[in-house]
Amino acid sequence: MKRLKKLPALVDSHAHLDFKHFDRDRNDMLRRAEAHGIKLIINVGVNPATSRESILLSEKHPMIYAAVGIHPHYAARAPEGYIETLKEMARHPKVVALGEMGLDYYRDRSPRWQQWDVFSQQLQLAKEINKPIIIHSRAAHAETGALLREEGIPAAGGVMHCFSGDLELAEQMMELGLYISIAGPVTYPRSKDLKKVAASIPADRILVETDAPYLPPAPWRGKRNEPAYTTYTVEEIATLRGIAAEDLGRICLDNARRLFSLA
């Protein structure tokens, strides 16, 4: 941890801190996050059980807010009545978004027609209750864009989580009204397109996240990721943009508060 700078204000806009990876040291991990400047964490559900866990975490920790949703990996296992369940959970005062939802044609853990259907249903719900959406898109950018353009996004907006496309795609997504959230892979030497995106998207559209326990920044590759490491990612992006890490941390926090109506 010594190599990490403490920044005054940071957000981790996407994490899964309810996962078992944190069972041994969850409170210490959250203390490290706070010690490094994290003021806000969005803990994101991937199915009904983890959505419920996200809410429980948010009740225990003032800086944690929750998103509830069905990840494309779980689309085939979405239980009957899941939309009603999500709608009910979304009434909780600390639920600030729906997601993650989307398409994953890289792993294809659910049949594509089911991924599409479950994404579309959640999108309809988000529009109905006007909550921002957290979108997962992997090896399915054209299809994700097509669905979003066809059906439209909630007035409350949304975010492309762990963005992995090029600048052209980022521009298309921003045109739809979405924020672009950058994760640890921006620190990998080979992430040329992502570095370009992180360097050039407008300051009022950028977010930063860990996706912890996954996708740690370069020094921790192969290890567990955690919110404190956001500092490292923010320093990398700030360098790419030629601004101070302190300023970028603050900008991302302000953007997250605006998107999730926490301002």
Binding residues (CB under 5 A) for Ni ion: these are 211
Pick 101 or 228: Cβ nearer Ni ion: 101
Residue 211 or 235: the one with the smaller Cβ distance to Ni ion is: 211
Tell the smallest beta-carbon distance from residue 242 to Ni ion (Å): 29
* Residues 83, 129: Cα–Cα separation, whole Å: 12
Instruction: Kindly report the number of other CB atoms within 10 A of residue 131's CB atom.
Output: 26
DSSP per-residue letters across 2-30: TTSPP-S-EEEEEE-TTSGGGTTTHHHHH
Cβ proximity to Ni ion: between 74 and 232 the closer is: 74
Q: Closest residue (Cβ) to Ni ion? A: 211
* Tokens at 140, concatenated: 């399915």
Residue 46 vs 245, nearer CB to Ni ion: 46
Pick between residue 106 and residue 168 the one whose CB is nearest to Ni ion. 106
Residue 23 CB coordination number (10 Å): 8
**In the numeric block, which tokens belong to residue 16?**
């899964």
Beta bridge partners of 180: 160, 206
- Min. distance of Cβ 136 from Ni ion in angstroms? 6
CA distances 85 to 18, 41, 52, 126, 146, Å, are 19, 23, 10, 13, 27
State how far the Cα of 28 lies from the Cα of 179, in Å rounded to an integer.
30
Q: Which helix (H) or strand (E) element contains residue 39?
A: strand 38-44
Q: What is the smallest separation between the CB atom of 16 and Ni ion, expressed in angstroms?
A: 6
CB nearer to Ni ion: give 225 or 238.
225
Q: How far is the CB of 45 from Ni ion (least distance, A)?
A: 9
Of 56 and 155, the one with the shorter C-beta distance to Ni ion is 56
DSSP state letter for 150 = H
Strand order in the sheet with 64-68: 10-15, 38-44, 64-68, 95-104, 133-138, 158-160, 178-182, 206-208
Cβ 228 to Ni ion, closest distance in Å?
18
Report in angstroms how near the CB of residue 75 gets to Ni ion at its nearest: 15
Give a three-class secondary structure readout of 124-148: HHHHHHCCCEEEEEECCHHHHHHHH
Q: At closest approach, how far in Å is the CB of 247 from Ni ion?
A: 26
